[in-house]
């Protein structure tokens, strides 16, 4: 066992099998209230200075009973000044007087909301009003302080929390516009401000109304295998970006303060209604995404999925990152060898940060154990797409579903290519010497094998993107580390038992010599340059959909035809029939490169019949044939340009 442990460590530490996104991290940065921000304090303090009001003089608490100085105001400047004083007074009351602090924040919210409503459009438009940005900052700060002082570092929108507010004289109702946004759907919420993301250059945050939160969806591990309907296609322990908005409501004299809490989804909403005005919704799309991938067990699962894949079988499958959105085109991301959906963190962050793509596309992930033969994973993806459609679009009325885009990295590209191919009996001939119908097996097993070896192009796939894909294999399978990993992989017990059962029921002569003598192949074995499976796949007929290649090259000084990303050579990644090809400077994890991200955005804009902002005009989008054929490398330096001429 010691030798196996040492070998496992060697394989796990090999950079040749790395899956990308290795350096992105997230850490807690405190939990101090928003008031500690010097910039925000400076903006807020100017209101009181302009009104010649002493910032430290607390106003009387209002809400339930009017008192001196609590008269109804209409001038935005006066309202902002009083809101700022209420905000300061609450904060200075400290955590030891949480009831007073919370009440002051409600007063501040009421005044700053009225001030925002009272800011009329000027010659340059309402956004030109210099007070507006500061008013929004105060509005969000008061909300965050209220949530922090009443709940602590994490928010639980449960009955206990609301009961505690009642004891403080605050009656809170929660908007229930959808099941997805109901508080019962989430375990807890964290403040985005309490976390800092490192080593991710583009972070997509929007200033506006509300408090951005990291929302942890409720999940019971015991119910993993019994989930049904759409729930089955949502990732376990999914994390969502969410924005909380508190709205003061009319308060009767002598009664409790009344508040309404709304949860908003910044992936589909950009504005929030403040009475008669639509205000921009505060949002953070990056921090919850990084939290989800970094804090999840995915880095461990990618090792298990390669070396002991049976442990990943229960959680493998097709997952949506958001409840299904009719009318939005699916983008299905398929990771590669010794990898996991976390490899797509940069890509998802980039797509979410583009308002056009966010509005028109929905991102799905396919997670699978990378040690098993990849045709079996392709069959699982095919089945997952069919099952998901029967759940979310059983009438097949959503045309967007049939415009899905597959993006596969490394071995995930081979799985993606199989989604647009027609097998005939070519794959079966690699394992069986007699017709499949003569195979003796349990009906359940035979149906499963039929899905693996016999398939048609999937009708929902309208475009495919290959990133660092070894269409003709990789030297990795022939190198020491590849052979070692191949030896260490333990195929699932169910797969090994089925293999023995088939041999026993049909006799060894029923199968080809590779199966009789070599046994079941692992995924690494299938990636060897001389593997017959890859040669067979290369010759299968394809659905005529646009396909694009993105290829990494470590050394930009080499001629392209001799280039490599360190794992896959250019000669293996190149496809003569690709609609476009882009060679980027980078290694096998080139899905994170800025050039790759821009190319993916270009392709997705092209799929919409649009041009990338600031880029070239888009050709007419089609799902029938690769009519958008072009060579993206024409914009690159000569050292990294594809040698083939751009097609006519």
Chain segment 210-234, per-residue pLDDT in tens: 999 999 988 776 776 777 888 889 8
With cut-offs at 50, 70 and 90, classify the pLDDT of residue 330.
very high
542 near 490, Cβ under 8 Å?
A: no
Relative to beta strand 329-334, strand 361-367 is parallel
> 55 vs 502, which has greater pLDDT?
502
Q: What is the pLDDT of residue 272?
A: 92
Query: pLDDT tens digits for 619-631?
Result: 433 333 333 334 4
> 56 vs 536, which has greater pLDDT?
536
Q: What is the pTM of this model?
A: 0.86
Mean pLDDT lowest among 55-69, 197-211, 426-440, 615-629: 615-629
Q: Report d(CA 581, CA 564) in Å as an integer.
A: 15
The three-state secondary structure class of 491 is coil
Relative to beta strand 547-553, strand 580-585 is parallel
Q: What is the pLDDT of residue 308?
A: 52
**Predicted confidence (pLDDT) at residue 253 exceeds the cutoff of 70:** no
DSSP 8-class letter at 28: E
Q: Report d(CA 221, CA 111) in Å as an integer.
A: 45
Q: What is the pLDDT of residue 559?
A: 93
With cut-offs at 50, 70 and 90, classify the pLDDT of residue 328.
very high
Q: Around Cβ 520, how many Cβ atoms within 10 Å?
A: 15
Q: Report d(CA 463, CA 619) in Å as an integer.
A: 14
DSSP 8-class letter at 392: H
Q: What is the pLDDT of residue 70?
A: 46
Mean pLDDT lowest among 243-252, 301-310, 533-542, 610-619: 301-310
| Mean pLDDT along residues 235-241 | 87
Q: Report d(CA 485, CA 481) in Å as an integer.
A: 6
Q: What is the pLDDT of residue 530?
A: 85
244 near 211, Cβ under 8 Å?
A: yes
DSSP codes, 456-488: ---TTEEEEEEES--TT--GGGGSHHHHHHHHH
Q: Report d(CA 67, CA 48) in Å as an integer.
A: 20
> 58 vs 320, which has greater pLDDT?
320
Q: Could you give the residue ranges of the DSSP H alpha helices within 308-442? A: 345-352, 355-360, 374-392, 411-418
Q: Report d(CA 550, CA 22) in Å as an integer.
A: 20
**Predicted confidence (pLDDT) at residue 5 exceeds the cutoff of 50:** no
Instruction: Pull the structure tokens for residue 31.
Output: 């939990």
Q: What is the pLDDT of residue 283?
A: 96
Q: What is the pLDDT of residue 307?
A: 46
Q: What is the pLDDT of residue 128?
A: 66
**Predicted confidence (pLDDT) at residue 369 exceeds the cutoff of 70:** yes
Percent of the chain with pLDDT over 90: 49
Q: What is the pLDDT of residue 8?
A: 37
**Predicted confidence (pLDDT) at residue 64 exceeds the cutoff of 70:** no
Q: What is the pLDDT of residue 176?
A: 75
Q: What is the pLDDT of residue 303?
A: 55
With cut-offs at 50, 70 and 90, classify the pLDDT of residue 596.
very high
Residue closest to 241 by CA, chosen among 271, 214, 201, 204: 214
**Predicted confidence (pLDDT) at residue 66 exceeds the cutoff of 50:** no
Query: pLDDT tens digits for 503-559?
Result: 899 998 999 988 887 777 767 777 888 889 999 999 999 999 999 999 999 999 999
Tokens 């290519």 map to which residue?
417
Q: What is the pLDDT of residue 637?
A: 38
**Predicted confidence (pLDDT) at residue 59 exceeds the cutoff of 90:** no
Tell me the range of 11-15, 249-253, 268-272, 463-467 where mean pLDDT is highest: 463-467
The residues that bridge with 212 in the sheet, in sequence order, are: 243
With cut-offs at 50, 70 and 90, classify the pLDDT of residue 441.
very high
Distances (CA, A) of 169 to 166, 204, 422, 453: 5, 37, 67, 67
Q: Report d(CA 113, CA 117) in Å as an integer.
A: 6
Enumerate residues 6+ apart whose C-beta is below 8 A from 628. Answer: 546, 579, 580, 606, 618, 619, 620, 621, 622
Burial (CB count <10 Å: 0-12, 13-18, 19+), residue 409 = buried
Tokens 């008061």 map to which residue?
142
634 near 641, Cβ under 8 Å?
A: yes
Q: What is the pLDDT of residue 4?
A: 39
Q: What is the pLDDT of residue 546?
A: 98
Q: What is the pLDDT of residue 349?
A: 97
Enumerate residues 6+ apart whose C-beta is below 8 A from 541. Answer: 421, 422, 424
Percent of the chain with pLDDT over 70: 77
381 near 321, Cβ under 8 Å?
A: no
Q: Report d(CA 502, CA 406) in Å as an integer.
A: 34
Mean pLDDT for the chain overall: 81
**Predicted confidence (pLDDT) at residue 256 exceeds the cutoff of 60:** yes
Query: pLDDT tens digits for 83-133?
Result: 999 999 888 886 567 888 888 999 999 999 989 888 866 555 556 678 888
Q: What is the pLDDT of residue 629?
A: 36
Mean pLDDT lowest among 56-70, 184-198, 289-303, 495-509: 56-70
């Amino acid at each position: 066992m010691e030798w196996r442990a040492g070998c496992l460590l060697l394989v796990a530490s090999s950079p040749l099998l790395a899956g990308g996104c290795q350096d992105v991290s997230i850490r807690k940065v405190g939990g101090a209230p928003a008031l500690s921000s010097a910039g925000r304090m400076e903006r807020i303090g100017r209101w009181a200075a302009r009104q010649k009001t002493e910032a430290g003089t607390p106003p009387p608490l209002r809400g339930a009973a009017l008192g001196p100085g609590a008269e109804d105001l209409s001038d935005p400047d006066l309202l902002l000044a009083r809101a700022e004083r209420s905000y300061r007074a609450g904060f200075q009351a400290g955590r030891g007087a949480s009831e007073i602090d919370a009440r002051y924040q409600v007063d501040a919210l009421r005044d700053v909301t009225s001030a925002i409503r009272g800011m009329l459009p000027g010659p340059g438009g309402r956004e030109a009003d210099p007070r507006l940005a500061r008013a929004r900052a105060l509005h969000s700060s008061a909300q965050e302080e209220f949530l922090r002082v009443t709940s602590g570092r994490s928010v639980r929108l449960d009955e206990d929390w609301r009961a505690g507010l009642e004891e403080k004289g605050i009656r809170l109702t929660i908007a229930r516009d959808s099941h997805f946004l109901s508080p019962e759907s989430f375990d807890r919420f964290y403040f985005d401000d309490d976390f800092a993301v490192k080593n991710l250059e583009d972070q997509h945050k929007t200033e506006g109304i509300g408090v951005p939160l990291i929302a942890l969806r409720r999940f019971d591990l015991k119910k993993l295998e019994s989930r049904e309907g759409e729930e089955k296609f949502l990732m376990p322990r999914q994390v969502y970006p969410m924005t909380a908005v508190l709205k003061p409501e009319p308060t009767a004299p002598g009664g409790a303060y009344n508040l309404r809490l709304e949860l908003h989804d910044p992936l589909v909403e950009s504005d929030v209604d403040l009475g008669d005005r639509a205000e921009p919704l505060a949002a953070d799309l990056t921090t919850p995404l990084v939290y989800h991938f970094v804090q999840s067990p995915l880095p461990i699962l990618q090792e298990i999925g390669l070396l002991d894949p049976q442990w990943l079988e229960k959680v493998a499958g097709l997952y949506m990152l958001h409840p299904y959105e009719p009318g939005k085109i699916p983008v299905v991301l398929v990771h590669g060898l010794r990898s996991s959906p976390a490899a797509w963190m940069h890509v998802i962050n980039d797509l979410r940060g583009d308002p056009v793509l966010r509005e028109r596309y929905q991102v799905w992930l396919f997670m699978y154990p990378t040690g098993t033969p990849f045709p079996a994973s392709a069959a699982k993806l095919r089945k997952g797409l069919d099952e998901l459609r029967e759940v979310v679009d059983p009438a097949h009325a959503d045309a967007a579903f049939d415009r899905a885009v597959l993006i596969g990295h490394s071995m995930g590209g081979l799985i993606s290519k199989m989604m647009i191919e027609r097998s005939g009996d070519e794959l079966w001939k690699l394992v069986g010497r007699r017709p499949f119908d003569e195979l003796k097996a349990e009906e359940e097993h035979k149906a499963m094998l039929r899905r693996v070896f016999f398939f048609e192009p999937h009708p929902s796939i309208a475009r495919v993107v290959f990133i660092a894909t070894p269409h003709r294999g990789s030297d990795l399978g022939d190198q020491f580390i590849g052979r070692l990993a191949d030896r260490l992989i333990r195929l699932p017990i169910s797969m090994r038992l089925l293999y023995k059962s088939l041999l026993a029921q049909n006799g060894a002569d029923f199968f080809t010599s590779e199966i009789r003598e070599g046994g079941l192949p692992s995924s690494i074995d299938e990636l060897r340059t001389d593997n017959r499976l890859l040669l067979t796949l290369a010759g299968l007929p394809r659905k005529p959909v646009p396909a694009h290649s993105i290829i990494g090259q470590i050394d930009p000084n080499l001629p392209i035809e001799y280039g490599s990303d360190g794992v896959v050579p250019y000669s293996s990644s190149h496809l003569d029939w690709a609609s476009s090809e882009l060679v980027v400077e980078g290694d096998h994890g080139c899905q994170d490169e800025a050039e790759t991200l821009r190319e993916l955005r270009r392709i997705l804009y092209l799929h919409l019949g649009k041009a990338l902002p600031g880029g070239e005009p888009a050709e007419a989008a089609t799902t029938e044939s690769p009519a958008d054929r072009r060579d993206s490398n024409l914009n690159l330096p000569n050292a990294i340009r594809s040698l083939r001429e751009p097609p006519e």
